Amino acid sequence: MVTVVSEAPTQAPAESRKRALSILGVLAALAGGVVIWYGVGLLVPRFPLAHEVVASGWNLLVTPSSYVDLLATFRRVLIGFVGATILGIPLGTLMGASPIWRGLFKPWTIGALSIPGPVAIITAILILGIGESSALVALVVSVLPYVSNIIMDSVGGLDHALDDAARVFRISKRDKWRHVIAPQLLPGIFAAVRTAFALSWKLVVVIEALGTSRGVGSQMQRSFRVLDVAEGIAWAVLFTLIMWGVEVLVFKRIESHLLRWRPEVRAI
């Protein structure tokens, strides 16, 4: 007679404990951040206190024109992110699968990765002038090398032993792509997509501050120009919270659903 011992009851309290500790850690970090913020504010006269930034943020939320700037920035992030992803995934796939394409494009990719984002942004503005087209081109060009490099490494790291097994078992090309290749590429694709999104919303603020009249970056630049530091920080905090919400509620959920077969994803 074999006795089967279930691990679920013992695992549940452990998972609950981990989540509780994680929440406590976040709360402690927030509390510590507020204390440090007020400490710096008391030492540096021009540094706005937390409640002043919250008040400025509330004023932005109740001002209709603020949403015009937020939508303009979000549209640029979306265009730059989608453009870099659409161009970067095929390019990275070609470089990872073919030595010829890798030899042709990898030096350019490595060179582009070594160029700081602001340099590419300023160069695009100097060439194309101040306007929407230069902002979008600068954003796509700055993010594209990161996407293609991640995809290239993912394609180059495919397990060829699984290809041999698929050939031995005479699996069709469709099933091979679905059950052998795609599951191996999905983590790399999601890493590239999330990197593209993160870089897009970080760089778009710099682009807007330098070359556009509407958007979060241009409003932050205006706030600091008139020495309204609290409003400038409020813009930065508000935009960061929105982008963080998109990351958690959209990308994280999709990734967790598609990669739920992986043990480390199921544990999250």
DSSP-derived secondary structure for 29-84: HHHHHHHHHHHHHHHSTTSPPHHHHHHHHHHHHT-HHHHHHHHHHHHHHHHHHHHH
Kindly indicate the confidence band of residue 202, based on its pLDDT and cuts at 50, 70 and 90. Answer: confident
What does the pLDDT look like over 146-185, one tens digit per residue?
999 888 888 877 666 666 666 666 666 666 666 666 777 7
Tokens standing for 249?
Answer: 């509620």
**Residue 5: pLDDT above 60?**
no
Contacts of 136 (CB under 8 A, 6+ apart): 76, 79, 80, 83
Please tell me the distance from the alpha carbon of residue 250 to that of residue 201, in angstroms, as a whole number: 15
Kindly indicate the confidence band of residue 99, based on its pLDDT and cuts at 50, 70 and 90. Answer: confident
The amino acid occupying position 72 is A
DSSP per-residue string spanning 189-238 = HHHHHHHHHHHHHHHHHHHHHHH-SSSHHHHHHHHHHTT-HHHHHHHHHH
* Model pLDDT, residue 2: 47
**Residue 8: pLDDT above 60?**
no
Please tell me the distance from the alpha carbon of residue 153 to that of residue 96, in angstroms, as a whole number: 6
Give the torsion sign (CA, 175, 177, 178, 183). Answer: positive
pTM: 0.75
